Amino acid sequence: MISAFAHLLERLAFSPQRNAKRAHLAGYFRARPDPERGLALAALTGDLDLRAVTASLLKGLVAERVDAELFALSYDFVGDLAETIALIWPGEGTAREVALADLVAELQETRKADLPARIAARLDQMDPSERYAYLKLATGGLRVGVSARLARQAVADLSGLDLAEIEEIWHGLSPPYSELFAWAEGGAKPVSAARAPFRPVMLATLMDREGLRALAPGEFLAEWKWDGIRVQAVAESGTCRLYSRTGDDISAAFPDVIAAMEFEGAVDGELLVRRGAEVAPFNDLQTRLGRKAVSRKLLDSHPAALRLYDVLIWNGKDQRARPLAERRAVLERFVELLDPNRVDISPLLPFEDWDALAALRADPPEAVIEGVMIKHRASPYLGGRIKGHWFKWKRDPMLVDAVLLYAQRGHGKRSGYYSDFTFGMWDGDQLVPVGKAYFGFTDAELRDLDRFVRNNTVERFGPVRAVAPTRVVEVAFEGLNRSTRHKSGVAMRFPRISRLRDDKPAAEADHLSALLALLPDG
Amino acid sequence: MKRTETPLIPRPEGLYCPEGDFHIDPVRPVARALITHGHADHARAGHGAVLATRQTLDIMALRYGADFAGAWQVAEGVTVIGGVRAQFHPAGHVLGSAQIALHTRGGRITVTGDYTRSPNPACAPWEPVPCDILVTEATFALPVFRHPDPTTEIARLLASLKAFPERAHLVGAYALGKAQRVIMLLREAGYDAPIYIHGALQKLCDYHIAEGVALGDLRPATVARGKKGDFAGAIVLAPPSAFAATWAQRFPDPVICFASGWMMVRARARQRGVELPLVISDHVDWPQLTQTITELDPAETWVTHGREEAILRWCALEGRAARPLRLVGYEDEPE
Ligand SMILES: [Zn+2]
Ligand SMILES: [Zn+2]
């Protein structure tokens, strides 16, 4: 029933703790029959294939009922399209129950031309909470704070299955997952239909100088932390696939890498754009991402390559239980046999003690290095973020003090508050915008900033408010690139407001020259 | 209506009436203030003279001490200030809350203050005050705000209490108005167990009781160290600010609830870490606001604070004259 699914989404939305969400999910899976629970699972993991109900279709439906400007103002405040429509849609609903499966089938089968009228009729039947669930389902982006992994974990919880076992066969299963639920409730394990499946990726926990003191340097290996994207390359029985660390198949965008996967196994590494020995900045990689097809020209100008650091499966043998030092030896042997332009190995860093590693970290040889990885020599390859095996020790963020110039209401978690800020730095006696940040602050700081914006607005441009340039904030960021799209000539990476500097008057904020001095090439 | 001059002017310190030389709900100290109700952002200390209802004056004295202003006067019947005749009418918002009707050379003006048309047993119900210029709040002035019947919200709280009898239910509610509203709704629903209240609510709950508002068995939510189990299955009320403090950690695995009109919007509830949002408001929602303008049918509608863009748009669509005053210093959620 859509009402049960709506109720689940509500509980998930308001359970901040992961364990509570997990319990709500398991409770739902236990209580609801097939195929409803399987369709709900598919919706949560992003595997429900519905005809794309677009935002513009929905906006069109609302426009027939609500003034466009009133809707825009409401959307701006609520921050979520489905929620705005659910709340603003006229009427209270008719309290008639509808099966989730019927709604899914209707969305899949209705002719495109008839879809708007069908959706409107459904919205008329439902109450606001059901409308929300239905629209989330129809648009395909649930975003209710549940990862695909957590949803699968809750299935595993039904009878204490191991999550890793489900993840291994997941890519061979399809909605409504009846065989999976049967297995999770004590039945037989489904036979894996997937070729070259994705395996859960091992993740590192954060480390700092202080924490390293407790660790013996001799027990660890260290490598650079590359600023590319983490991938798993799988070549099994003639099928080659490239997966993102969350298991999305990104093979189509990287035919050059796929062609170079002349091995039998599954390996873990970083995807980079590399021209000979020189690794290109992350920007270059970004132009290759998210494409369904790639032009010859782009393949030549932005060649992609793998830089490997681990092996999971080798010639049909699972390596994951072996210690890292042994897996590394396997990897070193087989990388030798591959095209060095496309595949190489992430070198180990020589260090005697943590001071020596700190010195390397402070002065990396390339700009695309964002810190160091520290891995226990004996660590098995474990899916997930398991403490005590792998650590990332990131480069310290860069910091500047800037002045708030503009604000806009946020979306998602921060919706309703002025939380998207444009900040500026001094250039002579002018403040020049240098970037935007919409996180980094605490909830209490957010309410403070929101109040500041509302009480210090000097001008409005649609949803954007210019504020009196009096509030100084410390901005932390991970790197800097030249940019022609920004007035200041530079673009920050991952900028965030790390501190409110209410101790500083605006005149004492930093100058643009201080920022330009941080550019990698001076 | 004869309009010789602008009868009310928005100024940084608040809404100013030049003809009577006074301010309404000023946010900074002024010589003469007319105050609609006791919420801290509307009723501030330090004015030369204050005109307000007896209950609002009492609340200001409770909040700021007996010397909250140089002088004060209880608003009864018509008070003539300068050439302006001022009269206070119930606003239904909180105990003592009032709308202020002004007869000026520029016409009849009704300043609503904060108000609601939903029944609130703590105070006299809102009444329509005919006017040429309606000066209205717009806290919840977006068409997404259609606040549900508060009794269904209280039913959800009681259902949760039943489902989690081992957990304390911590309800965030503002000290003036909302806290007492929640208590009364619980009592109406037949809940007669003791209700525990944070120290910051004590004075105002006592004042309500003294004013004849029955609240039942209230007890202080104080706990000896290491006796967490004491509040299992209990309802504890506290001002929202207490939740950020270590105060909340003394309760056994608490269910964090928050009684506010904002709780309709999921992100708002999540931002505050609320597990059980209770949509209970003491402001007009969108249908009530538009109904009020339609019924009073003023020549002009002026909007004081809140989400003014939407109601201005609605007025434009309806062919009604309206303008924003853009007053600053009023909180969406006064503590
Ligand atoms: Zn108020
Ligand atoms: Zn107010």
Band (B290; pLDDT cuts 50, 70, 90): very high
CATH code for the domain of A450: 2.40.50.140
Tokens matching residue A31: 């209580």
A120-129, A335-344, B244-253: range with lowest mean pLDDT: B244-253
pTM above 0.80, yes or no: no
Tokens matching residue B250: 């003394």
What digits encode the pLDDT tens for the residues A402-434? 999 999 987 766 667 888 999 999 998 899 999
- Judging contacts by C-beta atoms under 8 Å, the chain B residues touching residue A72 are none
The answer to whether B265 faces chain A, any CB pair under 8 Å, is yes
Angle (CA) A54-B312-B9 rounded to 5° is 150
Predicted pLDDT at A144: 75
Residues B258, B254: Cα–Cα separation, whole Å? 12
Greatest alpha-carbon span in chain A:
73
Predicted pLDDT at A396: 81
Question: Of A246, A236, A376, A251, which is closest to residue A306 (Cα–Cα)?
Answer: A251
* Cis before A347? omega within 30: no
In the reported structure, the alpha carbon of residue B201 is separated from the centroid of ligand 1 by a whole-number distance in angstroms of: 16
- Identify whether residues A227 and A371 lie together within a single domain: yes
Band (A210; pLDDT cuts 50, 70, 90): confident
Judged by CB atoms closer than 8 Å, whether chains meet at B307 and A455 is answered as no
- Identify whether residues A358 and A433 lie together within a single domain: no
- Identify whether residues A265 and A349 lie together within a single domain: yes
Judged by CB atoms closer than 8 Å, whether chains meet at B244 and A444 is answered as yes
Q: How large a percentage of chain A has pLDDT more than 90?
A: 50
Residues A285, A283: Cα–Cα separation, whole Å? 5
The answer to whether A455 faces chain B, any CB pair under 8 Å, is yes
A160 assigned to some structural domain: no
Residues 233-262 of B with CB under 8 A from A: 244, 262
The answer to whether B152 faces chain A, any CB pair under 8 Å, is no
User: Can you name the CATH fold of B9-144+283-324?
Assistant: Metallo-beta-lactamase; Chain A (3.60.15)
Tokens matching residue A300: 């030549």
Band (A95; pLDDT cuts 50, 70, 90): confident
For chain B, the structural domain boundaries read 9-144+283-324, 150-278
- At the second CATH level, the architecture of B150-278 is 3-Layer(aba) Sandwich (3.40)
In the reported structure, the alpha carbon of residue B33 is separated from the centroid of ligand 2 by a whole-number distance in angstroms of: 16
Tell me the C-alpha to C-alpha distance, in Å, between residue B117 and each of B87, B93, B291.
19, 8, 10
Band (B335; pLDDT cuts 50, 70, 90): very low
Residues A71, A63: Cα–Cα separation, whole Å? 8
Question: What number of CA atoms fall less than 13 Å from residue B281's CA on the CB side?
Answer: 24
Strand B321-324 with A265-275, pairing: unpaired
The answer for residues whose C-beta is within 8 angstroms of residue A514's C-beta and 6 or more apart is: A400, A425
The yes-or-no answer on residue A112 being catalytic is no
A248 assigned to some structural domain: yes
Q: Is the pLDDT of residue B74 over 90?
A: yes
Question: Of A55, A76, A71, A74, which is closest to residue A408 (Cα–Cα)?
Answer: A76
Q: Specify the higher pLDDT residue, A367 or B323.
A: B323
- Identify whether residues A305 and A366 lie together within a single domain: yes
Question: Of B327, B297, B328, which is closest to residue B315 (Cα–Cα)?
Answer: B297
Phi-psi region at B287: left, alpha or beta (left = phi > 0; alpha = psi -120 to 50): alpha
Average pLDDT for B197-217 = 95
Amino acid at B106: G
Q: Domain ends where: A373, A394, A415?
A: A394
Average pLDDT for A260-268 = 94
- Give the SS3 label for residue A179: helix
Judged by CB atoms closer than 8 Å, whether chains meet at B144 and A414 is answered as no
A158 assigned to some structural domain: no
- Identify whether residues A356 and A403 lie together within a single domain: no
A169 assigned to some structural domain: no
- Identify whether residues A379 and A405 lie together within a single domain: no
Question: Of B139, B137, B135, which is closest to residue B299 (Cα–Cα)?
Answer: B135
Predicted pLDDT at B2: 45
Residues A57, A53: Cα–Cα separation, whole Å? 7
Q: Which chain B residue has the Cα nearest residue A70?
A: B310
Q: Is the pLDDT of residue B241 over 90?
A: no
Tokens matching residue A384: 């997930």
User: How remote is the C-alpha of A77 from its chain's centroid?
Assistant: 24
The answer to whether B5 faces chain A, any CB pair under 8 Å, is no
Predicted pLDDT at A266: 95
Strand B22-24 with A304-314, pairing: unpaired
- Identify whether residues A433 and A363 lie together within a single domain: no
The answer to whether B328 faces chain A, any CB pair under 8 Å, is yes
Question: Of A175, A169, A177, A173, which is closest to residue A197 (Cα–Cα)?
Answer: A169
- Judging contacts by C-beta atoms under 8 Å, the chain A residues touching residue B331 are 451
- Identify whether residues A283 and A425 lie together within a single domain: no
- Judging contacts by C-beta atoms under 8 Å, the chain A residues touching residue B310 are 70, 73-74
- Identify whether residues A469 and A325 lie together within a single domain: no
Tokens matching residue A142: 């649930």
Judged by CB atoms closer than 8 Å, whether chains meet at B267 and A416 is answered as yes
What digits encode the pLDDT tens for the residues A51-68? 778 888 999 999 999 999
Judged by CB atoms closer than 8 Å, whether chains meet at B329 and A446 is answered as no
Phi and psi (nearest 5°) for A425?
-130, 160
Query: What's the per-residue H, E or C state across chain B?
Result: CCCCCCCCEEECCEEEECCCCEEECCCCCCCEEECCCCCCCCCCCCEEEEEECHHHHHHHHHHHCCCCEEEEEECCCEEEECCEEEEEEECCCCCCCEEEEEEECCEEEEECCCCCCCCCCCCCCCCCCCCCEEEEEECCCCCCCCCCCHHHHHHHHHHHHHHCCCCCEEEECCCCCHHHHHHHHHHHCCCCCCEEECHHHHHHHHHHHHCCCCCCCEEECCCCCCCHHHHCCCEEEECCHHHHCHHHHHCCCCEEEEECHHHHCHHHHHHCCCCEEECCCCCCCHHHHHHHHHHHCCCEEEEEEECHHHHHHHHHHCCCEEEECCCCCCCCCCC
Residues B248, A216: Cα–Cα separation, whole Å? 40
Predicted pLDDT at A385: 80
The answer for residues whose C-beta is within 8 angstroms of residue B103's C-beta and 6 or more apart is: B84, B85, B86
What digits encode the pLDDT tens for the residues B165-178? 888 999 999 999 99
Judged by CB atoms closer than 8 Å, whether chains meet at A80 and B267 is answered as yes
User: How remote is the C-alpha of A323 from its chain's centroid?
Assistant: 29
- Judging contacts by C-beta atoms under 8 Å, the chain A residues touching residue B277 are 14
Band (B70; pLDDT cuts 50, 70, 90): very high
Tokens 């031309």 sit on residue: A113
Strand positions, DSSP E, A256-368: 265-275, 278-279, 304-314, 317-318, 343-345
The answer to whether A77 faces chain B, any CB pair under 8 Å, is yes
Identify the domain containing residue A55 by its residue range.
2-139
Count of pairs with CB atoms under 8 A, one residue in A, one in B: 80
In the reported structure, the alpha carbon of residue B157 is separated from the centroid of ligand 1 by a whole-number distance in angstroms of: 24
Strand positions, DSSP E, A377-471: 384-385, 390-394, 398-409, 418-427, 430-437, 457-461, 464-467
- Judging contacts by C-beta atoms under 8 Å, the chain B residues touching residue A417 are 271
Query: Dihedral sign, CA of A413, A133, B254, A152?
Result: negative
Question: What number of CA atoms fall less than 13 Å from residue A63's CA on the CB side?
Answer: 10
Q: Is the pLDDT of residue A270 over 50?
A: yes
Residues B109, B303: Cα–Cα separation, whole Å? 13
Residues B269, A274: Cα–Cα separation, whole Å? 46
CATH code for the domain of A248: 3.30.470.30
Instruction: Note whether B9-144+283-324 and B150-278 share their fold.
Output: no
A81 assigned to some structural domain: yes
Q: Which chain B residue has the Cα nearest residue A15?
A: B275
- Identify whether residues A423 and A363 lie together within a single domain: no
Amino acid at B186: L
In the reported structure, the alpha carbon of residue B151 is separated from the centroid of ligand 1 by a whole-number distance in angstroms of: 21
Q: Are B324 and B141 in contact (CB under 8 A)?
A: no
- Identify whether residues A319 and A464 lie together within a single domain: no
Computed over every residue of chain B, the mean pLDDT equals 91
Q: Domain ends where: A120, A139, A158?
A: A139
CATH code for the domain of A46: 1.10.3260.10
Q: How many domains does chain A have?
A: 3
In the reported structure, the alpha carbon of residue B36 is separated from the centroid of ligand 1 by a whole-number distance in angstroms of: 9
Out of A21, A112, A136, A225, pick the active-site residue: A225
